[in-house]
Amino acid sequence: MIDPPVAQEAYNQLADDYAARIDSKAHNAFYDRPAVLSLLPDVTGKRVLDAGCGPGAYAEWLLDHGAQVVAVDANEKMLAHARERTGDRAEFHLANLNAPLDFLADASFDLVICPLVLDYIRDWTPLFREFHRLLRPGGVLVFSHGHPASEFFLYYADGNYHEVEQVSWEWTGFGTVVTMPSYRRPLAAVFNPLIDAGFVLDRVLEPRPIEAFREADREHYDQLMRQPGFLCIRAVKP
């Protein structure tokens, strides 16, 4: 059975505030985005899948840097924001990443990005197999997600590190307060699905926030300078 999107209700509540703050919220603008963008190859003229595009900040960046973009998200409100933001310059699909992406052809992408989305996917192997199918040989996958060390030792240490566990957290940083469900996992459940899907690991980044984060949120800046928050990975289809 295919899992429905676990955070659909939370993102229905959050979509407008998330879209309004995506350019200034420190964890996105000054931590995740510079880290993920630093892992991208030259995107000029490349066909890129933005998997879990949210309100379209990455899609817009990719378009502005000369890529052709296909963007997918399970949330209609997020897609509406992404369409508005990019002026329909990208191709958009409403789709659940827990299901096969049958509407996309084999070996039709040069790059797949999936920033801050895999936290909502319980089993990564089928999705990584889909990404592998969609990429041309030499194609690149870049993704980011909650770091397994901080997720367990800082937030959910009463669980079992070795298991993939559904957890939830009260998000307050986007204005609307929502209970956000996600999955935390051990490090092995990050790398083995990649290997099983046929990817070769190319780069691992445990980013530190950029300087602008300090101005925006001093407390979390100091924390992230000492402790991991997100894990960013680049892998290649040989």
Ligand X SMILES: C[S@@+](CC[C@H](N)C(=O)[O-])C[C@H]1O[C@@H](n2cnc3c(N)ncnc32)[C@H](O)[C@@H]1O
Q: Of 32, 29, 19, nearest to 174 (Cα)?
A: 19
Q: Is 231 a residue that touches ligand X (CB under 6 A)?
A: no
The only residue of 35, 57, 63, 224 in contact with ligand X, by rule CB under 6 A: 57
Q: Is 125 a residue that touches ligand X (CB under 6 A)?
A: no
Residues 187-199 as b or e (16 or more Cβ within 10 Å = b): eebbbebbeebeb
Nearer to ligand X, 88 or 222 (CB): 88
**Strand stretches in 88-218, DSSP E:** 91-94, 109-115, 135-146, 165-171, 178-184, 200-205
CB-facing half-sphere around the CA of 87: CA atoms within 13 A: 3
Q: Is 7 a residue that touches ligand X (CB under 6 A)?
A: yes
Give the β-pairing of 200-205 and 230-236: antiparallel
Q: Is 116 a residue that touches ligand X (CB under 6 A)?
A: yes
Q: Is 97 a residue that touches ligand X (CB under 6 A)?
A: yes
What are φ and ψ of residue 205, in 5° steps?
-125, 120
Region 36-55 residues binding ligand X, contact defined as CB under 6 A? 52-54
Contact 78, 54 (CB under 8 A): yes
- Nearest approach, Cβ of residue 55 and ligand X (Å): 7
Nearer to ligand X, 124 or 161 (CB): 124
- Nearest approach, Cβ of residue 215 and ligand X (Å): 21
- Nearest approach, Cβ of residue 4 and ligand X (Å): 8
Distance CA 76, CA 68 (A): 21
Region 71-90 residues binding ligand X, contact defined as CB under 6 A? 73-75, 78
Q: Of 202, 151, 212, 205, nearest to 36 (Cα)?
A: 205
Rg for the chain, CA atoms, rounded = 17
Q: Is 19 a residue that touches ligand X (CB under 6 A)?
A: no
Q: Is 197 a residue that touches ligand X (CB under 6 A)?
A: no
Q: Residues near 88 by Cβ (< 8 Å), separated by ≥ 6?
A: none
- Nearest approach, Cβ of residue 136 and ligand X (Å): 22
Which residue's CB comes closest to ligand X?
Answer: 54
Residue with tokens 């956000």: 180
Number of residues that bind ligand X (CB under 6 A): 21
The only residue of 16, 80, 96, 156 in contact with ligand X, by rule CB under 6 A: 96
Nearer to ligand X, 6 or 235 (CB): 6
Q: Is 180 a residue that touches ligand X (CB under 6 A)?
A: no
Residue numbers at the binding site for ligand X (CB under 6 A) = 5, 7, 11, 22, 52-54, 57-58, 73-75, 78, 96-98, 115-117, 120-121
